């Protein structure tokens, strides 16, 4: 089984229209949808907005199904240095908790600088959490081919997960320089934590709906970002390769 997760129903409209034998289940208060899509057994859920909701949903979803992998997708904002535009694709190489740390007069200090691991097991995790490298390397050339066919661009790099969306160019530039991030979102790092905790490989893909700059929603296109992500997910499924290579 392959788990698909997005924050809100608008980010899965195209996927749900293609699901066959759709059934709904309630697990720990979370609605899970199961069915078949492009030859794959699928479990689909909506996490809700933000890190806490995403972590709670991911844990419920993964502990109930134990899928081969989880693919997280939806729209996201591109940092200016990424070169990404609305409708382009961003593929995560890592996920970073962007605002866990300490704000000082001299700037932001992350958990590593504070020597406060978020998880201290056989390996210490601070702000940065991994994406499954094999899944990333499998998906990247397929997504590059898809991007070329759809006259869009693909960029791979770290994603930054925040609790408060960035609404100024100055703040976006600070975060981008601090993290080397290419894309901002509100759920990914929490899902990466859940996947790491339950040993489930994670792939994360975002369609760009806006650039992270001085906020002006007239330049945004949420439907374009949502559609770009879903069409890319469909392209990966239709490649008819195993979800976990």
What's the pLDDT score for residue 241?
52
pLDDT at res. 122: 83
We report the CATH number of the domain holding residue 120 as 3.40.50.1580
**What is the per-residue burial (b if ≥16 Cβ within 10 Å, else e) of 32-50?**
bbbbebbebebbbbbbeee
Residue 121: per-residue pLDDT: 83
Q: Within a domain: residue 80?
A: yes
**Can you give the pLDDT at residue 245?**
40
Q: Which domain holds residue 199?
A: 73-238
In-domain check, residue 62? no
Structural domain tally of the chain?
1
Pair 12, 6: CB distance under 8 Å? yes
Could you tell me if residue 11 is inside a domain? Answer: no
**Residue 42 domain flag:** no
The pLDDT tens digits of the residues spanning 226-239 come to 999 999 999 999 98
**Reported pTM:** 0.95
In a domain, 91, yes or no: yes
Per-residue pLDDT tens over the stretch 60-104: 999 988 899 999 999 999 999 999 999 999 999 999 999 999 999
Write the pLDDT tens digit of every residue in 130-180: 999 999 999 999 999 999 999 999 999 999 999 999 999 999 999 999 999
Question: Parallel, antiparallel, or unpaired for β 124-125 and 119-120?
Answer: antiparallel
Instruction: Give the model's pLDDT for residue 72.
Output: 98
Quick one: pLDDT band at residue 244, thresholds 50, 70, 90?
Answer: very low
CB 225 within 8 A of CB 87: yes
**How far apart, in whole angstroms, are the C-alpha atoms of residue 57 and residue 47?**
5
- Band (pLDDT 50/70/90 cuts) for residue 243 is very low
Query: Does 126 fall in a domain?
Result: yes
Give the span between the Cα atoms of 101 and 126, in whole angstroms: 10
């Amino acid at each position: 089984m392959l788990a698909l997760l997005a924050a809100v129903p608008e980010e899965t409209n195209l996927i749900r229209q293609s699901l066959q034998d759709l059934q709904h289940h309630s697990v720990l208060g979370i609605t899970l949808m199961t069915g078949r899509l492009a030859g794959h057994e699928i479990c689909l859920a909506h996490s809700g907005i933000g890190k806490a909701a995403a972590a709670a949903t991911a844990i419920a979803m993964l502990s109930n199904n134990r899928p081969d992998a989880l693919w997280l997708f939806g729209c996201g904002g591109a940092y200016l240095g990424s070169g990404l535009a609305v409708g382009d694709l961003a593929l995560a190489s890592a996920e970073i908790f962007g605002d866990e740390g300490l704000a000082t007069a001299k700037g932001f200090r992350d958990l590593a600088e504070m020597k406060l691991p978020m998880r201290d097991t056989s390996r210490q995790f601070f702000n940065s959490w991994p994406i499954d490298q094999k899944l990333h390397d499998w998906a990247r050339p397929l997504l590059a081919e898809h991007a070329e066919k759809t006259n869009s661009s693909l960029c791979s790099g770290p994603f930054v997960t925040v609790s408060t969306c960035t609404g100024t160019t100055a703040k976006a530039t600070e975060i981008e320089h601090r993290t080397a991030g290419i894309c901002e979102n509100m759920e990914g790092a929490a899902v990466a934590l859940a996947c790491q905790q339950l040993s489930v490989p994670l792939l994360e893909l975002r369609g760009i709906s806006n650039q992270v700059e001085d906020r002006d929603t007239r330049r945004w296109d949420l439907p374009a970002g949502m559609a770009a992500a879903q069409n890319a997910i469909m392209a990966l499924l239709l490649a008819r390769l195993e979800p976990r290579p």
